[in-house]
Chains A and B, each alone.
Chain A
Amino acid sequence: MIHLIIKRQDSPDSKPYTQEFLVPVTKNMNVVTALMEIKKNPVTKDGQMVNPVAWDCNCLEEVCGACTMRINGKARQACSALIADLEQPIRLEPLTKFPVMRDLIVDRSKMFEALKRLKAWVEIDGSFDVGRGPRLPRHKQEEVYPISKCMTCGCCLEVCPNFSKDSDFIGPAPIAQVKLFNTHPIGNMQKADRLEALKDKGGIASCGNAQNCVEACPKQIPLTDALGKLNREVNIFTLSRFFDF
Chain B
Amino acid sequence: MSQGDFLLRRLHSLTGVIPVGLFLLEHIFTISLAIFGAAYFNAATEFFGNIPVKGFIEIFFIAIPLIFHAGYGLYVALLSKNNVFTYSYFRNWTFFLQRITAYIAFVFIIWHVWALRFGGAGLGSVNTFEQLTQIMSDPCYFIIHIIGYLAVVFHFCNGLWGFLITWGITTGEKSQTISQVLCLSLGVLLAALGIVAVVMFKGGI
Interface residues of A (CB under 8 A from B): 73-74, 159, 161-162, 164, 166-167, 199-206, 208-212, 215-216, 222, 224-225, 227-229, 231-236, 238
Contacts and interface: CB of A to CB of B under 8 A. Distances in A.
Nearest to A206: B9
A200 B6 contact: yes
A203 B168 CA distance: 15
A224 B95 contact: no
A212 B92 contact: yes
Contacts of B80: 161-162, 164, 167, 208
Nearest to A161: B80
Contacts of A200: 2-3, 5-6
A209 B162 contact: yes
Contacts of B166: 205, 209, 231
B95 to A, nearest CB: 4
B5 A205 contact: yes
A211 B89 contact: yes
Contact of B171 (A201, A212, A231): A231
B138 interface: no
B181 to A, nearest CB: 16
Given A210-B91, A212-B92, A225-B172, A235 B167 contact: yes
A222 B6 contact: no
B157 to A, nearest CB: 14
A159 B168 CA distance: 23
Q: What size tier do the contact residues of chain B reach? A: 20 to 34
29 contacts: A74-B87, A159-B86, A159-B87, A162-B80, A162-B81, A166-B81, A167-B80, A199-B3, A200-B3, A201-B3, A201-B5, A205-B9, A205-B10, A208-B162, A209-B162, A209-B166, A210-B96, A211-B92, A222-B173, A228-B165, A228-B170, A228-B171, A228-B172, A229-B168, A232-B167, A233-B168, A234-B168, A235-B167, A235-B168
Given A74-B86, A212-B87, A231 B165 contact: yes
B171 A229 contact: yes
B205 interface: no
A222 B80 CA distance: 23
A161 B84 CA distance: 9
A208 B91 CA distance: 10
B69 to A, nearest CB: 15
B172 A73 contact: no
B171 A167 contact: no
A30 B113 CA distance: 59
B161 to A, nearest CB: 8
Nearest to B8: A205
